[in-house]
Structure 1
């Protein structure tokens, strides 16, 4: 006896058909209930607005009345013609319906296609196409309707499955994610670079729409919506194709033009070389717990900051009051009233809000120098900060702060690692220092390697970026670097903090890849580890790359890339804020 093959649906197609049939019983109409006649005048129904109480079927318990009420609520305040269209579609999904239902549905689309397309959403337009597929009065109506039904039905299935991939629907997969397995039913995979399956499918449907004047507007509208949507497999595959085309075009790139110089004139008011006269400060847009903000402020005030400008992205009165106690902290609550007073209103992204408030602070600060840094970033000078600033050449508008990424030490003192370029080492050392993951990490960091800037104030029209400053429409170029001055970045100093911020950073923050980024980046490492090994894989990564083990300390030291710099934040907190908190 042959072994019975396992099927996706227990019971096979007998069970599939039985389940499908359960929702196809015809509506039961109560006394006096009926669809409008075939010659109903559509014009009054375009002007009449639906009452969700559905007084037309008040008191009736028929299945028709229940559907009438459901649709009346869905189309509340909308033209009654849309409600009629919904009733016709609902009836035509059943095994039986009033004799003129099909003819009335076709007449409705024949005479009022433009109105329906303007007022129905995509879901109802797809339902209309399905209805044509089942009940069209011409072969073209049935063929096109059935084709669109299959197309949008399969899209709904695979786009639903994609929700569990962890990637947003508008983000194409990277080329590195390939599987050696063949597709189901022994099909060959679609050739992303040269394949024509997508254009053949869509183009044929577009052309076939001309075969029937009634369904043509509906078909063309649905296909137009499809190719305009950036969250479909068609858009993602085209994005992947464009990426690959760009990658091929760049295989033998022409010589890159030299970066144009854009030196910013240095105002006389900030050309101060006497360390005792230099006033410097920081500016930050912050959304963090109060104790973290206080430690950040205390560190920089202890270093000699004249002003710490803090803009609170999600302000609460307690935080505002606590920060306002110190006279050198300039705190701004970025609440609804604050953003309403800005000419641009509240910007959508955190990065845009960051550069906006930094530029505002630049234009009003009483400091000679201003650093735009985050709440988890700490200046790590080897001299006093004013000594570093006094040594900047008078023709330089800014001082570059290369990053140092904090390591997990498990102790009370802080240690940071440097990128190879900060110490003049080749990037190839990363594969020695981090043997498993080094080749996939820019500078061996999981955070930014661009660093930040300390900028002289007083330049009219200067704008802050995240890692740059802009003047007269271009990035400033007269920027100086100094040895042994770093910006310590406490990006993920503990495993718990690393995991707590992971979801946001992958979706919206520093780990998110752009559509233009072809290279295998940190986000790809995370995705791969989660898929292959789960949290244990991420823990192994964190130990190798972010934890100061004896082995890592030895390798970093050998390459001059270990910076031990205790921050003593608790001591600074007591020193700076103790008198104000006690009072």
Structure 2
């Protein structure tokens, strides 16, 4: 699997699942647009014919002086074009009616927009439009209404002179266009635009295109969407004033879906509080981090990535963890040993890409703070230190029993991210115990297009009480873009200034394989710690979860009861493998860890002594 091109994902596409077709009399699917995209493009073309100009008619030259046009006013009679019947003159008169007794500069802006919506406009039209916004953005924003400002941003999408102008213009054009469509449909619902819908009822569980609904209580889609556009606008001084003014108007308007969803969230939180239901604790604020241009590298040849991990484990386990990620192309591994282990440190340090730190008394004294009692706090501390000191572009904080399982080289995946992304979320898959050497991992239902109901088929006794069918974490881990200020790297989150980073993204079929319970003895021996101080502790006392299952089995059936649970839920039994594969929830990704250790470190000490 050298270079990260190893295991294959055993997933089949779900292109037809869940679709509901409306059939016509001749048993053919009803088409939203008869004729498909050929007809759509033809209809678009009818609206793209260029304006025609009669003799003597022309737009002002590129170097026109804008100042006199602010003092000059337009009259609705439009005597300037006389009786001309050109489409230019027709549009001129139409805009003269709208801008009657208003500055001619606004009329010029309208004529530029009208020309740029069509093909074949005069050669200097786009440059004149961009120059107008570069020099007069403050004036235009002050004197044009929201409708014309949206038209302007749309025009940047068609005729901007830079990549940012075109990309941001197109993105905002799609946003405002979709708002116009769904808000028009809302007019027929009987609901006022500034009144939130009731949160108790939902007509369906899924949206079109098999999308999951937005999580009203905790979703970040709105923040990521709006924040990403705001950050992107900062890259271009010409479009920035217009784009950010429109986004400010949008979040300040109380008649949008964003405001309604905010009200629905507040209503739901109030209802939960009234019932005494405690939501899972955690950071509530989110923020969008600005990415300086010099950090937004997309060249896979120069991009560097690495990992940080606080570890207390035997040398063979650490060496396999390190070797796997070196084999994937990691440029730096920051390994912090939670307890001094000189022989382990010396073995790992043979590879120059591995930076080993022994967290002994001297280390903690240098931190100018006592060693934290909770290992989770120590993990966060060293991960944040590594983030500040690392020499890589992207850093992931993961544990020694976790293995990145990329579908392509990590450098390519990271280089392919949007330059405004600051966090890459990697969701977990769980190793099936006993599959070492030919590793098998199980997926959560939603990543295979399945519903939660499948869990009771796979785990008949316990599936209803195991979210995702996992006994380990479901949140996943993160790569963080380095070089940003005020960053705190947690176990499952990356924060800036006390708020969760909102510039998150993900890559399809990129998972982190969690060897949480590789076999029964390991699970049994670590269970007590995990139940009292580790990951099995509950965050919501009202729900029956893994801790309750294990406590009940210990009390009622002893170790044999827990062993039966482990067999049903965790082991690579033929029954479970067949069930997972039938539901496209099985990932085959052989790791070949010992071969990687030999390749990157040489023989382990015990291997040398047994020769």
User: Is 1:574 the equivalent of 2:598?
Assistant: yes
SS of equivalent to 2:555: helix
**Residue number among 571, 580, 589 corresponding to 1:565 in the alignment:** 589
Q: 1:417 maps to what in 2? A: 442
Give runs of aligned pairs for residues 78-93 of structure 1, distance below 5 A.
none
Deviation at 1:494, TM superposition (A): 0.5
Give runs of aligned pairs for residues 102-121 of structure 1, distance below 5 A.
none
Aligned mates of 1:333, 1:261 — CA distance in 2: 34
User: Is 1:491 the equivalent of 2:516?
Assistant: yes
- Please tell me whether the aligned partners of residues 531 and 547 of structure 2 are also in contact (alpha carbons under 8 angstroms): yes
Q: 1:543 maps to what in 2? A: 567
Where do 5+ consecutive residues of structure 1 fail to align? Answer: 1-245
| Structure showing greater Rg | 1
SS of equivalent to 2:383: helix
Q: Encode CA deviations 1:407-434: one digit per residue, 9 max, x unaligned.
A: 0135621110011233332222211111
From the superposition, tell whether residues 479 and 302 of structure 1 become closer, same or farther in structure 2 (CA, over 3 Å): same
From the superposition, tell whether residues 560 and 342 of structure 1 become closer, same or farther in structure 2 (CA, over 3 Å): same
Aligned mates of 1:253, 1:339 — CA distance in 2: 36
Q: Encode CA deviations 1:203-256: one digit per residue, 9 max, x unaligned.
A: xxxxxxxxxxxxxxxxxxxxxxxxxxxxxxxxxxxxxxxxxxx989338999xx
- Please tell me whether the aligned partners of residues 286 and 374 of structure 1 are also in contact (alpha carbons under 8 angstroms): yes
Q: 1:94 maps to what in 2? A: none
Aligned mates of 2:463, 2:293 — CA distance in 1: 45
Deviation at 1:579, TM superposition (A): 8.3
Structure number with greater CO (CA < 8 Å, separation at least 6) is 2
Aligned mates of 2:436, 2:363 — CA distance in 1: 41
- Please tell me whether the aligned partners of residues 426 and 511 of structure 2 are also in contact (alpha carbons under 8 angstroms): yes
Aligned mates of 1:504, 1:252 — CA distance in 2: 27
Deviation at 1:308, TM superposition (A): 0.4
User: Is 1:401 the equivalent of 2:426?
Assistant: yes
SS of equivalent to 2:522: helix
User: Is 1:347 the equivalent of 2:372?
Assistant: yes
User: Is 1:374 the equivalent of 2:399?
Assistant: yes
Q: How many residues in Structure 1 have an aligned counterpart in Structure 2?
A: 333
Where do 5+ consecutive residues of structure 2 fail to align? Answer: 1-270
Aligned mates of 1:396, 1:265 — CA distance in 2: 9
Deviation at 1:479, TM superposition (A): 0.5
Off by >4 Å, runs of 4+ in structure 1:
251-254, 579-582
Aligned mates of 1:410, 1:337 — CA distance in 2: 41
User: Is 1:308 the equivalent of 2:333?
Assistant: yes
Q: 1:428 maps to what in 2? A: 453
Deviation at 1:552, TM superposition (A): 1.1
**Residue number among 348, 356, 361 corresponding to 1:323 in the alignment:** 348
Q: 1:69 maps to what in 2? A: none
User: Is 1:293 the equivalent of 2:324?
Assistant: no
Aligned mates of 1:452, 1:546 — CA distance in 2: 21
Give runs of aligned pairs for residues 158-557 of structure 1, distance below 5 A.
249-250=274-275, 261-410=286-435, 412-514=437-539, 516-557=540-581
Deviation at 1:277, TM superposition (A): 1.1
- Please tell me whether the aligned partners of residues 286 and 499 of structure 2 are also in contact (alpha carbons under 8 angstroms): no
Aligned mates of 1:359, 1:253 — CA distance in 2: 29
Does 425-434 or 453-462 show the bigger shift?
425-434
Does 409-418 or 398-407 show the bigger shift?
409-418
TM-score, scaled to structure 2: 0.52
Q: Encode CA deviations 1:237-286: one digit per residue, 9 max, x unaligned.
A: xxxxxxxxx989338999xxxx7651112233432211111100000000
- Please tell me whether the aligned partners of residues 325 and 580 of structure 1 are also in contact (alpha carbons under 8 angstroms): no
Deviation at 1:574, TM superposition (A): 0.6
TM-score, scaled to structure 1: 0.55
CA RMSD of aligned residues (A): 2.3
SS of equivalent to 1:470: strand
